[in-house]
Amino acid sequence: MRCLERGFVVWLTGLPAAGKTTIAQLAAARVREAGVRAEVLDGDWVRSTINTDAGFSREDRRRHLLRAAWVARLLARNGVVVFAAFVSPYRDVRAEVRKIVEEEAPFFEIYVKVSLAEAMRRDPKGLYKRALAGEIKNFTGVDDPYEEPESPDLVLVNEGVPVGVNVKRLLEFLADLGLLPTSIP
């Protein structure tokens, strides 16, 4: 397993249950199969390990994402390909995340797009159901906004498309930029 001379950060954003983590894990697995170090930072994992004090207020979400950005930056500057899967609902905070990472490594914002109706239909953790019942406050898409990216580096419509298609599109995007070997996608 080798590190790249220069790693980079692929920041996947989208509604809860959009499929961000699934795409990140599958893409990272393909990169690792090619002998390149890759790491997945997932919002749930970071909240349960690094950011155990983070809640879901706007300021807590901001703090959570900025800490994750610093971890991603450290990994990327040491040659690791980082797939970061976070709802990251606010445009201004995503801009802060980009600024932190781009001081030392390339950063790409990938919008994993699904409709709110599809995200609610999937609801693998039952969170939308609980939010609609009033059991969870400040839930993105229900009583807290998700601000769609205005100019993401790539949009992956993850509704009505097999996930493998989007993983391939993501890896092709990175290979076309010369960041990954063309043999990976």
Catalytic residues: 88
- Distance in angstroms (rounded) separating the CA atoms of residues 76 and 42: 16
* Contacts for 139 with CB less than 8 Å, ≥ 6 apart: 16, 56, 127, 128, 130, 131
Specify whether the CB–CB gap between 64 and 91 falls below 8 A.
Answer: no
SS3 3: coil
Q: Is 129 annotated as a binding residue?
A: no
Q: Is 20 annotated as a binding residue?
A: yes
Q: Is 15 annotated as a binding residue?
A: yes
Between strands 107-113 and 81-85, the pairing is unpaired
- Distance in angstroms (rounded) separating the CA atoms of residues 113 and 87: 11
Q: Is 133 annotated as a binding residue?
A: no
Distances in Å between the alpha carbon of 9 and those of 41, 91, 144, 159, 160? 10, 17, 26, 24, 27
Q: Is 179 annotated as a binding residue?
A: no
Q: Is 14 annotated as a binding residue?
A: yes
Q: What is the 3-state secondary structure (H, E, C) of 72-85?
A: HHHHHHCCCEEEEE
Query: What would you report as the CA-atom Rg of the chain, rounded to the nearest whole angstrom?
Result: 16
Annotated binding residues, as ranges? 14-21
Annotated binding residues for ATP, as ranges? 14-21
